[in-house]
Amino acid sequence: DHEHEHGHDHEHSHEHAHPHDGACHHGHLDLSKLAPPKKRTKIQPFPPKLQLFQLDTSLIKVEDNVFTKLKGDNDVVVAFDPPIQQGIHRFSIAFANSYSCFHSIGIVDAAVNITKGYALGEDEKSAEYNNKNVFGQVYHKNKGVEGNEEYQDEQLITAEVNMDAKPRTLHFFVEGKEQPVYVSSLPASIRFAIHIYAEGASFTVVTLGKAPSASVKGVVGKKEVQW
């Protein structure tokens, strides 16, 4: 029971839920000496060139489909263009060098202006699925819901939106396995996004684009998080 064992309370704010202090402090890093992330081939559908939304290039280094966090431990959200309004779209990534810090995959309302320090899941206009360091919780409106797998570095994590469904939905997958906690009633236009925190951490984009059909089959213990 994570809530009991870790003194973790879903009603607490993100500051309490995410181990920003202490757990993420790993001293000075020589980024050139970090083990590179596992090389991953892009899977179609994939745009010829990733289109980024308001990316601060002083905080993120982009090399082809690999994004590496620079300059200390702090919240950075990387969002992708174009905004999505219709169809089924899939976004698959793998994290590397996360240390004991949280990182997440999710979506943000396309109307949001992503400013410095913005963090997914802390407001009513974004949702995220966290890694094992936040117990695999899905966060929206500053509240976390447990039930999904506590994924780790180098696992393939997928976010899939169905903008044609009524209501519109966001489902998550770990190595292709559907997760029970999902988000419904999405806004009319969204962007896929990544929330990354630790200096030297990275994520590799494997898939980003429209899917021919939904991967959602339904799983035992489904939990709905309403937007």
Domain boundaries, the chain: 51-226
Q: How confident is the model at residue 56 (pLDDT cuts 50, 70, 90)?
A: confident
**What does the block give as tokens for 44?**
């179609």
Q: What value, to the nearest 5°, has the Cα angle with vertex 62 and ends 60 and 64?
A: 165
Q: Is the pTM of this model over 0.85?
A: no
CATH of domain 51-226: 2.60.120.920
Contact 153, 134 (CB under 8 A): no
Q: SS3 of 209, please?
A: strand
Distance in angstroms (rounded) separating the CA atoms of residues 179 and 149? 7
pLDDT at 81 exceeding the cut of 80? yes
The per-residue pLDDT of the chain, averaged, comes to 83
Q: Of 81, 86, 82, which Cα lies nearest the Cα of 166?
A: 86
C-alpha dihedral sign at 122, 114, 164, 172: negative
The reported pLDDT for the residue numbered 7 is 32
Residue-wise pLDDT tens digits, 103-145: 999 999 999 999 888 999 999 999 999 887 777 899 999 999 9
pLDDT digits (tens, 9 = 90+) for 152-172: 999 999 999 999 999 999 999
Residue 178 has pLDDT above 70, yes or no: yes
Number of residues written out for the chain: 227
pLDDT attached to residue 116: 86
- How would residue 87 be classed by pLDDT, with cut points 50, 70 and 90? very high
Sign of CA dihedral 7, 9, 14, 15: negative
